[in-house]
Amino acid sequence: MLDLRHQPEFKNKIVNNSKRSKRPYLIRAMHEWMGDNSHTPHIVVDTSVDGVCVPLEHVKDGKIILNISESAAHNLKLTNDAVSFRARFSGVAFDVWVPMKSVLGIYARETGQGMIFSHDTETADQLSPATLPDEIEETRSRPHLTIVK
């Protein structure tokens, strides 16, 4: 029987699949969990990542904190590629768009509970969340894990 894993085309497909980041799935999960708890989800964004579109006057030390609760973030979209919504900053409406890989963490304002993402959660990027507060729950991934038999 032909083992497709040795065919270059199939091998590339496996590699591409394994690169799909968990991050957007976890962000959607935490956003839903916080909403069901009547908590207010905030994300921490690394504004040095290409494509980040946020009001620059609210950036501090290369980071911005964004309230993505349903009441604050209008037309919120949490896709696999980006977080986007319209919100008011100091009374002025702004269309926010931040690529998923720029999102360093998500937490609930009321409790501080949430997740920060280590750089190996996102295989493709090299973000360093070292400057974030370490009180937030962290999720770690190991690229090569043993299959449970």
Binding residues vs a second copy (CB under 8 A): 17-18, 20, 22, 25-26, 28-30, 32-33, 36-39, 42, 44, 65, 107, 109-115, 132-133, 135-142, 144-148
Minimum distance between the CB of residue 37 and a second copy, rounded to whole angstroms?
A: 5
Cβ-based nearer residue to a second copy, 18 or 86: 18
Minimum distance between the CB of residue 99 and a second copy, rounded to whole angstroms?
A: 18
Determine how many CB atoms are found less than 10 A away from the CB of residue 69. Answer: 18
Minimum distance between the CB of residue 71 and a second copy, rounded to whole angstroms?
A: 17
- For residue 147, give Cα distances in angstroms to 44, 144: 33, 9
Two structure tokens written together for 76: 């919120």
Pick from 9, 10, 21, 7: which is nearest to 124 by CA?
21
Cβ-based nearer residue to a second copy, 93 or 145: 145
Where are the extended beta strands (E) located within the chain?
41-46, 63-67, 74-78, 82-89, 92-99, 103-108, 114-117, 138-139
Minimum distance between the CB of residue 112 and a second copy, rounded to whole angstroms?
A: 4
Cβ-based nearer residue to a second copy, 70 or 95: 70
Cβ-based nearer residue to a second copy, 51 or 112: 112
Determine how many CB atoms are found less than 10 A away from the CB of residue 80. Answer: 11
